[in-house]
Chain A
């Protein structure tokens, strides 16, 4: 019941907000904002019992709901979370509140549609993480495209249409191939869409490899892995702040989550067979994209590329097949959810005041916005993976895991600590420090209470996770170990 609530409360709130909103705006907008906030907060509150009531010893799915949905195809409305998916439901519901608050006074046109799209998407995203039936998963997975397309297209930057269409078509290509792979598994499993049934299905290696690529397209585009990452900088750059936050914090996690839920357990032999490819692509993302990030002149683009690089760490962790790697990858996903959300919000704060994202237009912001500079310092450090911030935990675990496989692998992976520090701190220096660059910067006002609240919440999360990661990792242990035991057994 809780999972259903976490999905449907935001969706229904979104529908209500859509219905209340007026195109012209006016007095209705205030009401719309409060209803949206109420929906988001309520949606988050119902996910808290999921964490407090979660049995960390149990590797299986908990809070399971199962009803027959489409009898013709034996499709079930089947929900449940394990240690792997639980935290993403919480993260998503938490980020939704921040997004609602972040857009509070910034979004002025079509307010109802803006909040409606975000709330509906939040519900759909919870659905993706909770779905245990492949069709249900697919419906949520692809359903998220519609609100995101609208968000980028309406409230985005100058090149928004191009970015929105590119985002949509790129991800659609991947997911359609995944659909065919799913239908094949449905056929081979004797008519079952239950993901757990597929985990037990013996599949010959050749077929496993074909299916692996079917799923790979879908998930690699979402992660995004090099070389199918090119939609991300466009989408991030053009999206409104809230859109970038949800994209980076949650949507990117769908791909990585798909690897853990589908690719690894269903196709373990193909995964081992093709691990070299995945590791190679991840290393390219870490090292090459790290360098590409250095030369960006647009702050949002820079953070977008750094996301690609960080997500390379996640896929690397998954495909070295040990507990450090997988857990590190998962922790990195959560941490990146907080840190990238915070970074995009910081850029949003600047953009709302200056209406430019170019690094060159800034300089000496610390003089006029000291509080903001302090917050951004913390998030920049977390992005660079400084110890005692959340960014460190995941990267450290993955590097440990890589070290167990090969020293050289770990060495290349560890270069991220250098690149990460280089591009983040260099950007920070150019934007925040130095002399006041121009009159626009000197007229800047520091954070207002709304922005302060949002950034404090994220700062607390980043620090807490960096200093005391146990609450995050303990829920994962059982499920991750179970997963590793499962993929160690050949399914040929």
Chain B
């Protein structure tokens, strides 16, 4: 094979997933099974093959970075790592949601197809080397998610959430696009790596710098929408609450990884020379998110809404890592800081997956486990699931020996290294406030008596996956080194 074809093999996972998704769509048309078992198995198989292909590409690349498709697509370790985690998240989402959707007669082939297409969009985003591919990937992902949120089309709450998500999402895409066009105007290129070269030159001249910063503001605003941080967070609580829990699980996991990749591509790969400008913006976003997220979460009685505000707070915490990379133009700490943020988001996605997984597990036909009181006395009716949720909650609160602690430790350490001690202090004070509402969940499960003695029972596969998910946080809490090292390599080879 010619070198060109060989180098394009780096996009094999994406190519495969596109083909496989079309195949799954076709298979589903001929499936008469009420529970769509074949569709789900096919989708899982497609994900497993994607996983193996990505591993293969990672192995072949030997940790190098390669830009292919005439500068549209980049293949690097961070991309592979994030894609692998996206497969895990989506695969988990499929596993966790099958029963839930079937109980509510929402189980249609579209669910799987849309989910896989949005995964494809995420993969394109993660590997984008150009503004164009980035935007294409983003839209593919977002459009599928809008449709997924409206999956329960007869529910007014769901459709309202979808509408809100769509309108705000479109607005944020517009902001992002506008920012990109400003940067394009200044640098004359869409390729992120070329933008970096031009930006380094332009940043030296005050006039050009102003122009770049103008574009940067819109980029950051667009990013903030997608990541979901204050003051661009309004859609999150409504979408999390309004969407069926199975879809909330999807919205709250893999897209976060894609949004993180987008932030790294745009800000770190593209505009690192403007770091001192975007770091200030991120600092503001981070503090506001931690404050509003943690304080508002206390007042929630709906678990999904509480987790939505907790997401906002966590994303703010993650930004602390991103904004600690460059100190006075010195990039010595950059790898450490960005890998801390990457580690944080990876752990966060695992926790979020598990927490919504528990909600799905406890939901039954005709019973939606979504209010805090629905978890009352879980320790009596289902001690193992309660224990998993306990691990998840303490991990979210950042208490050792769970993985959430090391995520916080890494990010705080990056902030202190960057001389941002005051930011670190603010962060720990808000995470103390945050600990309260996670504790309340533990309190309800362990200290209160159950409302009714019904025992939730999921399939064996669900139980095993949920257990693995919860215990992973304990395992990463006792042995965080491998994952941390992987994150570090991913950032170093950016």
Contacts and interface: CB of A to CB of B under 8 A. Distances in A.
Interface stretch (B147-155, B165-173, B363-371, B480-488): B480-488
B484 A180 contact: no
Contact of A184 (B383, B410, B416): B416
B69 interface: no
A183 B416 contact: yes
Choose among A142, A169, A180 the residue with the greatest number of B CB atoms under 10 Å from its CB: A180
A229 interface: no
A398 to B, nearest CB: 34
B443 A165 contact: yes
Contacts of B480: 70, 72
Interface residues of B, number: 36
A70 B396 CA distance: 21
B399 to A, nearest CB: 6
Given A23-B380, A70-B484, A168-B435, A153 B416 contact: no
A393 B65 CA distance: 69
A72 B442 contact: no
A143 B401 contact: yes
B405 interface: yes
Contact of A160 (B412, B439, B447): B447
B439 A165 contact: yes
B432 interface: yes
A380 interface: no
A186 B394 CA distance: 25
A176 interface: yes
A256 interface: no
B403 to A, nearest CB: 12
Interface stretch (B106-114, B126-134, B253-261, B417-425): B417-425
A318 interface: no
A184 B399 contact: no
Given A180-B416, A180-B428, A153 B380 contact: no
A143 B478 CA distance: 12
Nearest to A135: B409
A72 B400 contact: no
Contacts of A176: 428-429, 431-432
Interface in B444-464: 446-447
Contacts, number: 95
Contact of A164 (B390, B431, B432, B443): B443
Contact of B485 (A72, A113, A146, A150): A72
Of B394, B400, B417, B446, which is in contact with the most chain A CB atoms at under 10 Å from its CB?
B400
B481 to A, nearest CB: 5
A267 B431 CA distance: 27
Nearest to A168: B439
A149 B413 contact: no
Nearest to A214: B425
A68 B380 CA distance: 40
A64 interface: no
Contact of B425 (A153, A164, A177): A177
A358 interface: no
Interface of A: 23, 69-73, 110, 113, 135, 138-139, 142-143, 145-146, 149-150, 153-154, 160-161, 164-165, 168-169, 172-173, 176-177, 179-180, 183-184, 186-187
Interface of B: 379-380, 383, 390, 394, 399-401, 405-406, 409-410, 412-413, 416-417, 421, 424-425, 428-429, 431-432, 435-436, 439-440, 442-443, 446-447, 480-481, 484-485, 488
Given A154-B446, A164-B443, 20 more contacts: A23-B380, A70-B480, A72-B410, A73-B409, A73-B410, A73-B413, A113-B379, A142-B400, A142-B405, A153-B442, A153-B447, A172-B432, A173-B429, A173-B432, A176-B432, A180-B416, A180-B424, A183-B409, A183-B424, A187-B417
5 contacts: A23-B383, A143-B400, A177-B428, A180-B416, A183-B424
